[in-house]
C-alpha cells in the first residue's frame, strides 16, 4: 500500500481522505490553485476511474478531457448540445447529454469522480450565473451523494466571498456558495 497526498492505494482500489490538503491550510491556498493541485493528484492515481467532466465544452474542461483521454482514466464529457459530440468523439471520449438546470442523475450514475468545470459564461445574465454556477454545482453534489460518487473536484474562482461587493459580485457569491456547500457536503474534494 502506498500513500499520495491523502490517497491510500491498495490492490483493491483507492481510498480518498476527505481533503487532500489539511483544512487549516485552505485559507492560504487560492481555491483555483487548490483545484489544480487536486486535479494533478487525480492524474497520478494508480486506479482507473470513470470521470465525469461537467461543462466539458468549455476551454478549461476541454484541456482536462484531453489529459484524461491520454491517461488510464475513462473520461465522460457532459454536454448540453448534441452538436458538440463530434469534438469528443474525435478524442475517443464518451459523452452524455445533460443540462445543469435539470436533474443530471443519469449523467453521474456509475461514475467514480466528477470534475465540475461548468460556468454560465460572461455573456449571460445574473440569473444564469445563479442557475449554473451556484444551483447547478449544488445539484451535481446532491446527485453525487445519491449515487455515491465520492471524489468531486470543482473549478472555482479567486476572490469568492458570499458578501462580495466586486463588480462581478453575483459570480463571486455564486461560486462561494457552491464552494461552501462542497466543503460541508461530506464528499471528498
Residues taking part in catalysis: 171
HSE toward the beta carbon, residue 121, CA cutoff 13 A: 6
CA distances from 127 to 62, 171, 178 (A): 25, 10, 15
Separation between Cα atoms, residue 89 and residue 159, nearest integer Å: 36
Separation between Cα atoms, residue 127 and residue 144, nearest integer Å: 24
Separation between Cα atoms, residue 27 and residue 31, nearest integer Å: 8
Residue 66: CB partners within 8 Å, gap ≥ 6?
91
Separation between Cα atoms, residue 58 and residue 118, nearest integer Å: 7
Separation between Cα atoms, residue 73 and residue 153, nearest integer Å: 15
Can you tell me which residue has the cell 479567486? 158
Please tell me what DSSP assigns to residue 133: I
Separation between Cα atoms, residue 140 and residue 45, nearest integer Å: 23
Amino acid at each position: 500500500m502506498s500513500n499520495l497526498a491523502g490517497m491510500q492505494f491498495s490492490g483493491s482500489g483507492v481510498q480518498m481522505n476527505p481533503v487532500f490538503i489539511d483544512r487549516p491550510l485552505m485559507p492560504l491556498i487560492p481555491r483555483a490553485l487548490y483545484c489544480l493541485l487536486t486535479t494533478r493528484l487525480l492524474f497520478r492515481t494508480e486506479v482507473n476511474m470513470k470521470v465525469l467532466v461537467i461543462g466539458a465544452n468549455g476551454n478549461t474542461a476541454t484541456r482536462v478531457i484531453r489529459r484524461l483521454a491520454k491517461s488510464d482514466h475513462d473520461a465522460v464529457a457532459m454536454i448540453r448540445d448534441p452538436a458538440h459530440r463530434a469534438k469528443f468523439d474525435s478524442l475517443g471520449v464518451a459523452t452524455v447529454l445533460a443540462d445543469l438546470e435539470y436533474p443530471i442523475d443519469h449523467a453521474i450514475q456509475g461514475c467514480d469522480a466528477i470534475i465540475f468545470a461548468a460556468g454560465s459564461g460572461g455573456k449571460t445574465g445574473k440569473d444564469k450565473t445563479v442557475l449554473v454556477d451556484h444551483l447547478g454545482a449544488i445539484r451535481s453534489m446532491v446527485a453525487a451523494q445519491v449515487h455515491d460518487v465520492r471524489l468531486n473536484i470543482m473549478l472555482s474562482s479567486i476572490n469568492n466571498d458570499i458578501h462580495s461587493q466586486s463588480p462581478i459580485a453575483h459570480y463571486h457569491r455564486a461560486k462561494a456558495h457552491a464552494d461552501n456547500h462542497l466543503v460541508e457536503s461530506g464528499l471528498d474534494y
